[in-house]
């Protein structure tokens, strides 16, 4: 399937909003979506979600012959799988541009920057080494796959434990987890990718872009940073007129984000090891019960109306709004609710779902119950 085409008015609407420093989902220009990390029952399995973008990571290991050029080092293979489950335009034949980009960027960030200590994975030089395989699956694509995938990769690698081995005169003994405690991987530094979308000739930079923002942006800039303020990977695609200064501008923000993400990973790891120690239920079971792992509940476009813009009433607007008391259309695509009863209650800003059309002919009601209540008051 082809990627759905974005209409010109959607593009124009988004660009106009960004130039006024507003984003379609109500976030600030430098606000990130909620990041949550959940670990599964096995070591090395984790699911990361940034807003609605979800990535599942799984680490596995086996014993193999090392590469001829590096006989003392273990092997690390990273594979990102884009299946049509994530987005309808993904194809299973792993040839598309985005899949190559994701794979290469993660490889650069994690493999080429030597984040995992590969020499400790050697069992017998030139004969047997551990081959660590990291598989990431994109479960849902709502923008910013690179960030989410890099967090999933790092979390899965930090969580993983490989079996303990012993080389005896008879041969190699691989101990089961019950017999000998499995060993975690040696992680030398913690690289995280942070993405920025650039609009309006480099004047507006947005952090953690959503899918629509990614497609409309004139350039997308990804930085791989670690906790030691080192850059592990840089990738700029598209064309931006801000020149070399863009790197410095984004680098500091990326660093702060990387530090907070790594802290979150460590915290979640600590909680998980506590749970394992106390022998309670762990893994995705709780998440499935609460409906957090499979549900999709947040509204897509929320426009917070914070201040009045010059009023221009449109002709066709008033007829369809019999369900609302008084709605005045202000400019294209923004609506202010003048219902006094609602104003009297808590909201300093009214959040409504509006379809992005230049002429507001009807207001679509969201599935969210709260919104319906406000409109029907």
Give the footprint of another protein on this chain (CB under 8 A): 2, 95, 97, 100-101, 103-104, 108, 112-114, 189, 221, 225-226, 228-244, 246-248, 251, 255
Q: How far is the CB of 29 from another protein (least distance, A)?
A: 21
Cα angle: 55, vertex 187, 106; to 5 degrees: 40
Pick the closer one to another protein by CB: 238 or 304.
Answer: 238
Q: Which residues contact residue 47 at a Cβ distance below 8 angstroms, ignoring those fewer than 6 apart?
A: 37, 38, 40, 54, 55, 56, 57, 139, 152, 284, 287, 293
Give the nearest distance from C-beta 103 to another protein in angstroms: 7
Minimum CB distance to another protein, residue 355 (Å): 25
Question: Could you tell me the smallest distance in angstroms from the CB atom of residue 202 to another protein?
Answer: 9
CB of 154 to another protein, least distance (A): 15
Contact 175, 163 (CB under 8 A): yes
Return the number of the residue (24 or 192) whose C-beta is nearest another protein.
Answer: 192
The dihedrals phi and psi of 336, each to the nearest 5 degrees, come to -115, 135
Q: Judge contact between 159 and 45, C-beta under 8 A.
A: yes
Cα–Cα distance, 147 to 185 (Å, whole number)? 22
Query: Between β-strands 45-50 and 53-64, what pairing exists: parallel, antiparallel or unpaired?
Result: antiparallel
Cα separation, 293 vs 71, in Å, equals 42
Choose between 2 and 307: whose C-beta lies nearer to another protein: 2
Rounded-to-integer distance, Cα 84 and Cα 96, Å: 12
Check: CB of residue 374 under 8 Å from CB of residue 342: yes
In the complex with another protein, the residue whose CB is nearer, 143 or 233, is 233
For the CB of residue 96, give the shortest distance to another protein in the complex, in Å. Answer: 10
Min separation Cβ 15 and another protein, Å: 17
Report in angstroms how near the CB of residue 352 gets to another protein at its nearest: 33
Q: Output 189 or 276, the one with its CB closest to another protein.
A: 189
What is the DSSP-derived secondary structure letter of residue 145?
H
Instruction: State the minimum distance, in angstroms, from the CB of residue 8 to another protein.
Output: 11
| Residues 207, 205: Cα–Cα separation, whole Å | 7
Q: Whose Cβ is closer to another protein: residue 3's or residue 267's?
A: 3
Nearer to another protein, 192 or 232 (CB): 232
* Dihedral sign from CA coordinates of 152, 155, 48, 43: positive
| Residue 177 to residue 162: CA distance in whole angstroms | 9
**Within a 10 A sphere around the Cβ of 95, how many other Cβ atoms?**
8
Nearest to another protein of 241, 313 (CB atom)? 241
Close Cβ partners of 262 (under 8 Å, ≥ 6 residues apart): 154, 190, 192, 227
Residues 6+ apart with CB under 8 A from 368: 297, 299, 353
Residue number with CB closer to another protein (103 or 366)? 103
CA 29 to centroid of chain Cα atoms: 16
Instruction: Select 201 or 266, whichever has its Cβ closest to another protein.
Output: 201
* Shortest separation between residue 5's beta carbon and another protein, angstroms: 10
Q: How many CB atoms lie within 10 A of CB 136?
A: 27
Those residues with Cβ within 8 angstroms of residue 3's Cβ, 6 or more apart along the chain or in another chain: 89, 215
For residues 295 and 289, is the Cβ–Cβ distance under 8 A?
no
């Amino acid at each position: 399937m082809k990627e759905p085409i974005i209409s010109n008015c959607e593009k124009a609407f988004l660009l106009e909003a960004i130039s006024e420093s507003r984003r379609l989902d109500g976030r600030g220009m430098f606000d990130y979506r909620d990041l949550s990390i959940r670990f599964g029952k096995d070591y090395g399995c984790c699911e990361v979600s940034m807003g609605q973008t979800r990535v599942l990571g799984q680490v596995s290991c086996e014993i193999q012959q090392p590469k001829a050029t590096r006989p003392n080092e273990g092997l690390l293979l990273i594979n990102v799988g884009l299946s049509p489950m994530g987005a309808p335009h993904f194809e299973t034949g792993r040839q598309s541009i985005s899949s190559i980009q994701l794979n290469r960027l993660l490889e650069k960030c994690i493999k080429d920057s030597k984040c995992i200590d590969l020499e400790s994975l050697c069992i017998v030089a030139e004969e047997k080494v551990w081959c660590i395989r990291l598989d990431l699956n994109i479960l849902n694509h709502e923008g910013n796959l690179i960030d989410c995938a890099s967090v999933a990769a790092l979390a899965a690698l930090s969580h993983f434990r490989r079996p303990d081995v012993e080389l005896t005169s008879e041969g190699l003994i691989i101990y089961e987890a019950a017999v000998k405690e499995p060993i975690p991987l040696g992680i030398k530094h913690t690289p995280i990718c942070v993405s920025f979308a650039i609009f309006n000739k480099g004047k507006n930079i947005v952090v953690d872009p959503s899918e629509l923002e990614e497609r409309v942006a004139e350039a997308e800039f990804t930085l791989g940073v670690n906790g030691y303020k080192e850059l592990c990977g840089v990738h700029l695609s598209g064309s931006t007129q801000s020149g070399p200064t863009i790197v410095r501008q984004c680098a500091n923000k990326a660093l702060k984000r990387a530090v907070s993400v790594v802290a979150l990973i460590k915290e979640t790891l600590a909680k998980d090891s506590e749970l394992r120690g106390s022998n309670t239920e762990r893994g995705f079971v709780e998440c499935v019960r609460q409906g957090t792992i499979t549900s999709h509940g947040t509204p897509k476009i929320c426009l917070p109306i914070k201040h009045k813009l010059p009023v221009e009433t449109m002709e066709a607007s008033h007829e369809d709004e019999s369900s609302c008391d008084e709605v005045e259309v202000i400019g294209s695509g923004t609506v202010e609710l003048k219902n006094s009863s609602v104003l009297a209650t808590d909201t300093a800003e009214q959040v409504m779902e509006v379809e992005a059309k230049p002429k507001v002919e009807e207001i679509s009601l969201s599935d969210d119950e709260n919104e319906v209540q406000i409109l029907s008051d």
